[in-house]
Amino acid sequence: MTFGWLKRLWRLFLRQDWIAVLTAVALLGIGLAFIYSASWRGEDTGIVGAWFHKQIVWASLGGALALTLALVDYHFWTRHAWLLFLVSVVLLVLVLVAGRKVYGAYRWLVLFGVPVQPSEFAKVALVILVAHVLGNPALPPHSLGLMLVVLLLAAVPFMLILVEPDLGTALVLGPTIFFMLFAAGMRWRYFFSAAVAALAAAPLGWYFILGDYQKERILTFLDPARDPLNSGWNALQAAIAVGSGGIHGKGFLNGTQNVLGFLPRTVSPSDFIFPVIAEETGFVGACILLGLFALLLATYVRAALVAPDPAGSLLATGLAGLLFSHVFVNIGMTIGLLPITGLPLPLVSSGGSFMLSTLAAFGLVQSVFIRRARAPSSDTIG
């Protein structure tokens, strides 16, 4: 019996990006604090619902998952990328067939009594697969064919998630794939062509892909006064919450928009946690939160730069793109920059599957970082 493997594990553990770990822990802490606040109903009632306690459980499970994935070599996952992808597609199909309907959408699959969102798993699986494909030295690089292959692969989960429907989650796949293709050195003209094609496809998407409620959301975004009591309500109330916070905020547990229920209570701990934070901590608090996300993204980028191989670099880049898209779309929609799409804020919003997928992604990036090349850059510049 030797404990050599244990020692190796310990050494790997110590090679983690501790800045990233601390930043993630800080964001989780902020999330817990404001889920508590979003559940707060005044002195007499205290907090209601199970969001807060569930979040502790999910964060713990997610932490364990992240640590496990950090210690396991990410090449194990890239080697089985196709299998993961296949499983994720099967689950996405299954959810459409046997999923649970919540608010008119089939997003949840009940496994052993626990509702899970296959789309969360599918996002990560897609990034692993694309990193595997683009990082494969055997394939012809920067070719139009390879780009189309990647786009076709991405289109499968994209369409499946879109018909659930979960427009927000489907849309974040776009920037993610773009980040990876760009980092992999795809030619500029392909991007321009893709952009033109996307613009041309937009009207088609409007008429054939988007559902009425999605169109309504986009119209409302363009003109919030259109229907202030229905589809405009959340956007309006989120803006009032954020705006009324002022520079310093109203103080912890003092966010009236949330306590009084103007910010809908069903979504304030999840998709609309940012208005709660911004109302109670003001511009200062909101900027600190953005700063923490920037710091976390910086550690992802650093992992991409010091990765031992292109697959690892692309994996970190893709996951950075995923994290960034989530943060930008979530905050952007609560402050009127983007239409309302149900998309949570990573590490902060309540939610099980999303917490696990975010922390799984975090673990994968750590795995890349732990296996970093000794000298991070000079000899790898191409």
Partner 1 sequence: MSGRDDQLQLFFPWRIALLVLVMLGCGGVLVARLWKLQVEQAPEHQARLAKQSLRSIRLAGRRGKLFDRNGVPLADNRPSYCLSLYLEELRRPGPRQRTVDAVMDTLYRLAEVMDRPLHLAEQDVWAHLRRRTPLALVAWRDLDAVAMARFIEHEHEFPGVSLTVEPVRVYPEGTLAAHVLGYVGRADEERLAEEEAAEAMDAGQEAPERYHYYLSDVAGRSGLEKALDEDLRAPAGGRLEIQVDVAGFKYQTIEESSRPAGLGSDVTLALDVRVQRAAEAALEGQRGAVVILDPHNGDVLAMASAPTFDPNDFVPTIAPEQWRQLQGPDRPLYNRATAGEYAPGSTFKPVTLLAAMRAGKIRPETRFNCPGVFQLGNARFRCWQTWGHGSIDLALAVRYSCNVYLYHAALACGPEPIQTMARHFGFGRKTGIELDYERPGLVPDDAWKRKNRGEGWRDGDTCNLAIGQGAMLVTPLQAATYCAALANGGTLWKPRLVLSRTSPDGRQLPVPAKAVAREKLWSDADFDVIRRGMRDVVQAPDGSGRRARIDGFEIAAKTGTAEYGLKGSGKKMTWMIAFAPYEAPRYALAFLAEDGASGGSTVAPLVRKLFLAIRDELEADAEDAATVPSIREPAA
List residues binding partner 1 (CB under 8 A).
Answer: 42, 134-135, 137, 141, 179, 182-185, 239-247, 256-257, 259-262, 278, 282-283, 286-287, 290, 294, 297-298, 301, 304-305, 309-310, 313, 317, 320-321, 324, 328, 331-332, 335-337, 377, 380-382
Given the complex with partner 1, which of 157 and 318 has the nearer CB atom?
318
Helix (H, G, I), strand (E, B) or coil at 40: strand
The owner of tokens 């701990």 is 269
Q: Work out the angle at residue 131's Cα, subtended by the Cα atoms of residues 182 and 358, and round it to the nearest 5 degrees.
A: 100
CB 259 to partner 1: min, Å: 7
CB 98 to partner 1: min, Å: 29
Given the complex with partner 1, which of 118 and 249 has the nearer CB atom?
249
CB-CB neighbours of 298 under 10 Å: 14
Strand order in the sheet with 100-102: 100-102, 105-111, 114-116
- Beta-carbon contacts of 80 under 8 Å, excluding residues fewer than 6 positions away, are none
Residue 107 has phi, psi (to 5 degrees) of -120, -15
Given the complex with partner 1, which of 182 and 190 has the nearer CB atom?
182
CB 351 to partner 1: min, Å: 21
CB 40 to partner 1: min, Å: 12
Given the complex with partner 1, which of 106 and 324 has the nearer CB atom?
324
Given the complex with partner 1, which of 162 and 296 has the nearer CB atom?
296
For residue 307, the number of C-alpha atoms closer than 13 Å in the C-beta half-sphere is 27
Given the complex with partner 1, which of 82 and 283 has the nearer CB atom?
283
C-alpha 52: how far from its chain's center? 20
- For 79-90, b where at least 16 C-beta lie within 10 A, e where not — what string? ebbeebbeebbe
CB 110 to partner 1: min, Å: 25
CB 334 to partner 1: min, Å: 10
Q: How far is 290 from 305, CA to CA, in rounded Å?
A: 22
CB 96 to partner 1: min, Å: 30
- In eight-state DSSP terms, residue 339 is -
- Beta-carbon contacts of 368 under 8 Å, excluding residues fewer than 6 positions away, are 74, 303, 304, 307, 308, 312, 313, 315, 316
Given the complex with partner 1, which of 153 and 236 has the nearer CB atom?
236
Given the complex with partner 1, which of 110 and 198 has the nearer CB atom?
198
CB 213 to partner 1: min, Å: 21
DSSP string across 91-141: HHHHHHHHPEEETTEEEEEEETTEEE-HHHHHHHHHHHHHHHHHT-TTSPT
- In eight-state DSSP terms, residue 47 is B
